[in-house]
Amino acid sequence: MGRAPFVAAILVLLLLPAAAPAGARIDSPPEWRVGDRWDYNMTVSNQQGTTYGNLTQEVAAAGTVRVGGRDVLSYTLSSKQTYWGYGLRTTTNSRIYIQKSDLCALIINTTTTTYFGEMNSTASTELRYNASDGRYRFPLVEGDSWTAAYELGRKLRLERSMVEESRNVTAAVTVESPERLSLPAGRFLAYKVTYTYDSGNVTTYWYCDAVRGEAARRELDRSTGTLTVYELKGYHPAPAPLPIIGSDSDKALMLGLISVALVVAALAILAMRRRAPKAPKQKKEQSGPAAPEFHFEHTRDGLQMKSVKPDIMSIACPACHRVFKTPAGAKSVRCPFCGKEGKLG
């Protein structure tokens, strides 16, 4: 009996790592980079049945966007969504502007084309949230809740008409305990954020810090009974920048320092070259007249030329001291310059 409390305590300690710590939180939103991409499987279910599709979202740019008379730092997401069923195929291309400080939506521009056989129809929609849709609030803390209130401007352009409206929207937002999700991309621990509109529609986000975004999303339209589910099937982060390069200001400073260093190095090399003593020019050795390589001797047969080097090809005339060539093995030569003749002994 005395060992039972000890065993129970061990079991509790073993189970603790499997659960998220109480009061878990994510302190700040992620820093997205141009090129970050998330791919999702998509399922749309209603009373008519189920259709399937896919969604891809990629960070296309980072900058500012004008919302409610103010410039807001934002990311620009390029989104493409396609789903099919009942003989229809629907493709939606979107540009979504996301506020950097909290990942809330600012502006959504979409163009949706529906194909039915050889026929198709196109509709364009612009949604503007002032100040934002308030879906997230960082730090993201388990058990936190708030009310998102904003003005929603909507423009709907059909092929032959346009509808424009504006209304005030409120939504209740709650952050629940992190959940372990099994998705096509793997298993992830994600914070469940429930977003309930004043219309009764509900959108649930599962934010995952490991993928720096949403691991899953579920949208329930109560008026039609349509449930749309997105599940992450691939996360592709853009390559991280070099450690020495950070923000745009850091890049400009680094490039400026490199330019200054290159100029200083070039000036130093130039100054060293100017100060370096010049090597004295080597004087060319002036050679005198070539030494005679043959001479004349009186013999019984008369005056003969004797060669110092019998096998040479160039010889110097003893009369004018000029050098000329003669075939090896020649018996007699005649100087082409002064005409001096003689035999080679």
Please give the model's pTM, rounded to 2 decimal places.
0.65
| 129 burial type by CB count under 10 A (0-12 exposed, 13-18 middle, 19+ buried) | buried
Q: Give just the sign of the alpha carbon dihedral 241, 246, 249, 251.
A: negative
**pLDDT value, residue 255:** 67
Averaged over successive runs of 10 residues, the pLDDT of the chain (345 residues) comes to 42 38 77 97 93 97 93 97 88 97 97 89 95 95 96 91 94 96 97 97 97 98 96 96 60 69 77 66 50 55 55 71 74 81 73
Using an 8 Å Cβ cutoff, are 154 and 165 in contact?
yes
Helix (H) or strand (E) holding 175: strand 162-175
Q: How far apart are CA 72 and CA 74, in angstroms?
A: 6
DSSP for 215-267, written as a single string = EEEEEEETTTTEEEEEEEEEEEPPPPPPTT--SHHHHHHHHHHHHHHHHHHHH
User: The tokens of 286 are what?
Assistant: 């002036």
